[in-house]
Amino acid sequence: MADSTDSSSVLHHKAHDLLNLIEALNHSGSRLEDQFWEDQLNQTVQLLLDDVDSLILEQLLDYLATTSQSDLYDILASLIESIAESAVLSHQGQDYHVLLVTAPITTWTRYQLPEGILSHTQHEKLLSLVKDYASPQAKVALLGQLLSFDQLPKSFAQTQALCKQLGQLALAAQPATIEIDQRDDGINLLADTKFIVSAIAVPVGSPLFAWQQQSDPVQAMRCAQEQWQIQCEAILSTMFAGCQSHYLPPNGYFYNNRMSDKYMRPLALKAAVQWLATVMHKEPKDLTATIARCGDHHTEEFRIGLSVQDQKEILYGCVWPIFSKEEVDLSSPHYQDNATEIQNLLTELGVESILFLAGLFTPEFCDDCEAPSFPTTEGELQHPYLPEDLHFTPDALH
């Protein structure tokens, strides 16, 4: 474990208190002592989550990550997420457990992605679908719009605030009319995740999902997930016309965030290659893909720069994020050969010129627009630019 004596002095005093509790839990030698420290941690984390503007938890996680204290990071991250995506609310004299639930839709298109505002009919059908997916005792509220990543809560405290808001609406059987900021940044994404967001509230001690009450819960869960994809696609097919989409089943907020991230990696690369080939009036075989490992101390992401063969300028790019050190650790059972996966995917898309750069590059971003820089065939990171006379705004289909 890294020595935190000096470098932790920059932390807020509340973060220091939390760090001490995590270290105590990490050194516990019995389940009973574990439970004692976990209770203390739960109370401390909840107090920090009650302040919607606080970023102390995020700052402490950043500190643990940058000081390579992975054991403490994992303990804290798991604890914070479990508390932030849930709440205990009282209604008519009874206590309810509330879970913030999402059902991600990973999608890509050659056109423009839909905004995600649900019609009354779509909302009612999705609400009924989530109710069927949940246990019979559950009360459900569902947002009237699909959210993009940049519309999701920006902090743990905001995540729990949304959980409580939706949970209260579910218990009161009121429409989920929560104002969510609309994206208005002029960016036309070709691949993104849209989230169906809901809250499921059940009496304390009751199951959340319908399959939990079946004699073979795993088989019942698989059947429910298959039906979800079929039924959800039927409800939203008109909204996602012209898109290739995958409908992930409902699950806890943070778990499904990670699952959607993994599904998005190949979709984003597919969208980038096919869109660039289209706007440049080229075939994928006419493009060159240059791939670099990027990170401060280890591989944190792959950046793929796309250019036309025999030209130096980077026209477009795609980031392939790494979600844990284990993913790129050859000795880990969770190792994934991302480089081979990227190469195979590019080959399947028709790209014939693929170049991997040696070494680890420091990730660079534009000072003005904060866009990532992408590798050139000459081994430099460069801001991508499309020709000024090119019409590159995706056509609207919806």
Rounded CA-CA distance 273/387 in Å is 17
- The predicted structure's pLDDT at residue 167: 96
**Could you tell me the pTM of the whole model?**
0.83
pLDDT score for 126: 97
pLDDT given for residue 397 in this prediction? 42
Tokens encoding 27: 């050194």
Q: How far apart are CA 208 and CA 201, in angstroms?
A: 8
Q: What pLDDT, on a 0 to 100 scale, did the predictor assign at position 6?
A: 44
Mean pLDDT of each 10-residue bin along the chain, 398 residues long:
47 90 93 95 94 90 85 91 96 96 89 84 96 96 92 93 95 80 52 93 96 94 95 93 90 95 90 88 95 90 93 91 83 87 96 95 88 93 82 50
- For the chain, the maximum distance between any two Cα atoms, rounded to a whole number of angstroms, is 72
Three-point CA angle 76, 139, 206, nearest 5°: 60
Contact 173, 91 (CB under 8 A): no
Secondary structure (3-state) at 126: helix
Q: Do you know the residue count of the chain?
A: 398
pLDDT computed for residue 184 by the predictor: 44
